[in-house]
Amino acid sequence: MAVKKTENAETKKTVKKTAGKTATKTATKKAVKDTSKVEVKITPKKSILFVASEANPFAGTGGLADVIGSLPKALAKNGNYDVRVVIPLYQSVTSAWRDTFRFVGNFNVPLSWRNQYCGVFTTKYEGVTFYFIDNEYYFKRSGLYGHGDDGERFAFFSKAVLEMMSYLDYYPDLMHSHDWQSALSVIYLKTLYKDRERYDKIRALFTIHNIEYQGKFGFDMFADVFGLPEYAYDMVEYDGCINLMKGAIQLAEKFSTVSRTYASEIKDSFFAHGLQNIIAENEYKMTGILNGIDEDVYSAKKDEKLFANYTATDLSGKKVCKEELQKMLNLPVNEEIPMISIITRLVSQKGLDLIKAVFEDILAENVQVVILGTGDKEYEDYFVDVANRYEGKCRTIIAYNKDLASKIYSGTDIFLMPSKHEPCGLSQMIACKYATVPVVRSTGGLADSIKAYNDEERKSGNGFKFYNYNAHEMLYVIKDAIYTFGNKKEWTKLQKSAIKTDFTWKKSACEYEKLFENILN
């Protein structure tokens, strides 16, 4: 039943023009007819296809989904590019969303010796065209990742994206691929598809959201699953295995990462998880652009999940949020006790070892601490155990729950994020938008987004920073934040400066546009 569709009909438009008012009455009928309808070719907007494994609001597990849900929207709003996004159609995409999708068609995708079904659905959401790659064998499963055949699943996805282009007769000028799950889209484009007409013109940009996850596989995957040609071996081999991120970095016209500081950090072996030499070799084509957030979504004024809304000029709703949160968590209701929140994936990258080292010292202060997140069992067990021992002071909720996250961001006073490394980090920005003052370790995007009050002679700043990965240095700065909380005038100044910080995509979307322009010209 699939009908091949031409999706870029917008490229040619007929513009009607009325004949000039000065036309004399003596002009012949023919001449008037000739000028009444002029066919004008409008240069089509350049087109960008975002290729990623998750995008809000359809399917997500973390920061990547936020970025793919908000950057294309910001770019579409700017109006300079035709922006589209493609992600897999996971089981978790709700039927309410699916009801809004249109089936475009289906075709088969060759993947080594396999020949797999691929359906394509589409919808337009907030100015952006989204495509969804459907294959129930690969994507009708619980969770987005963590299956034994993730390599094959995302190889299929990447190959399907390239096959979709010829099926739709839609060839973007630029393919912008993200993280290891989409790295093969770049590798395929620059190997198997590089000599095919129209594919040969597509440029590739690859963005690293976290260099820790590189897509490493055994050599057996090279031909049998990825179906790569022999000459591509050197492009994807690294350090005794197949490394998809390495391949994408090398083959893309440019690559980027999600903050300027992280871009310089990943030249170092401490941050690069083995890829430092590849980063150094390709540094000439690397850029760091800080992520923004969707301030329509993360907004103390608009967020309907809050107990009360508030703004920079009237923070009174935040008091209600704190009181209701204390009641909800069964903690003593007292606005004078500073509340510290930690909302994170419970993994070592997030600096949880530092917290563990001095957690009981923190709890010795007059504070309340709330932890929300899921992750490694070691940390889950630890924080549950401490919460059990410090009943009236500490609550641990093992969950990934956006509703509750909003209530905690808004109801607490201090947001703790002591990451060991942090490519960008969005939580510190979100906390600011709820007038919750972040205490962060200065690394990656945390360094670039938080200006330290404790460094600026306490005159300006939107948070507190410490520098070394050292638990006592962190403890010292947390105590400083607690002490400052006691000074209402200073604290309100900090809260206002935090909530007023501009974390929109405005500036960063422009930086991306410059980068696109640079690649396309």
Looking at 63-71, 102-110, 195-203, 240-248, which segment touches ligand GLC (CB under 6 A)?
A: 63-71
Q: What is the nearest approach in angstroms of ligand GLC to the Cβ of residue 47?
A: 23
What does the per-residue mask of binding to ligand GLC show for 442-461, with x meaning CB under 6 A? ---x----------------
Tell me whether residue 273 is exposed, middle or buried, using C-beta atoms within 10 angstroms of its C-beta: 0 to 12, 13 to 18, 19 or more: middle
Q: Does position 272 bind ligand GLC by CB under 6 A? A: no
Alpha-carbon span 381 to 142, nearest angstrom: 24
Q: Does position 67 bind ligand GLC by CB under 6 A? A: yes
Tell me whether residue 511 is exposed, middle or buried, using C-beta atoms within 10 angstroms of its C-beta: 0 to 12, 13 to 18, 19 or more: middle
Candidate list 133, 342, 414, 426; residue touching ligand GLC; CB under 6 A: 426
Q: What is the nearest approach in angstroms of ligand GLC to the Cβ of residue 343?
A: 13
Q: What is the nearest approach in angstroms of ligand GLC to the Cβ of residue 268?
A: 17
Query: Of 48 and 109, which CB lies nearer to ligand GLC in the complex structure?
Result: 48
- What SS3 class is residue 284? helix
Q: What is the dihedral of CA 63, 65, 67, 72, to 10 degrees?
A: 180
Per CB under 6 A, contacts with ligand GLC among 329-368 are none
Q: What is the nearest approach in angstroms of ligand GLC to the Cβ of residue 261?
A: 11
Candidate list 47, 48, 55, 63; residue touching ligand GLC; CB under 6 A: 63
Query: Of 236 and 258, which CB lies nearer to ligand GLC in the complex structure?
Result: 258
Per CB under 6 A, contacts with ligand GLC among 287-306 are 291
Q: What is the nearest approach in angstroms of ligand GLC to the Cβ of residue 259?
A: 8
Alpha-carbon span 485 to 413, nearest angstrom: 8
CA angle 98–100–104, rounded 5-degree value: 80
Q: Does position 484 bind ligand GLC by CB under 6 A? A: no
Per CB under 6 A, contacts with ligand GLC among 186-215 are 209-210
CA angle 228–233–238, rounded 5-degree value: 125
Q: Does position 411 bind ligand GLC by CB under 6 A? A: no
Q: Does position 105 bind ligand GLC by CB under 6 A? A: no
Q: Does position 424 bind ligand GLC by CB under 6 A? A: yes
Q: Does position 438 bind ligand GLC by CB under 6 A? A: no
Alpha-carbon span 341 to 407, nearest angstrom: 11
Name the residue with the smallest CB distance to ligand GLC.
63
Long-range contacts of 182-185 (CB under 8 A, 24+ apart): 182/51, 182/52, 182/53, 182/154, 182/157, 182/158, 182/248, 183/158, 183/215, 183/244, 183/245, 183/247, 183/248, 184/154, 184/155, 184/158, 184/159, 184/226, 184/244, 184/247, 184/248, 185/51, 185/158, 185/161
Looking at 60-68, 149-157, 182-190, 370-378, which segment touches ligand GLC (CB under 6 A)?
A: 60-68
Alpha-carbon span 211 to 262, nearest angstrom: 10
Burial 404-423 (b: 16+ CB within 10 A, else e): bbbbbbbbbbbbbbbbbbbb
Q: Does position 423 bind ligand GLC by CB under 6 A? A: yes
Q: What is the nearest approach in angstroms of ligand GLC to the Cβ of residue 485?
A: 27
Candidate list 49, 55, 64, 387; residue touching ligand GLC; CB under 6 A: 64
Candidate list 258, 293, 340, 398; residue touching ligand GLC; CB under 6 A: 258
Interface ranges with ligand GLC (CB under 6 A): 62-64, 67, 209-210, 258, 291, 422-426, 445
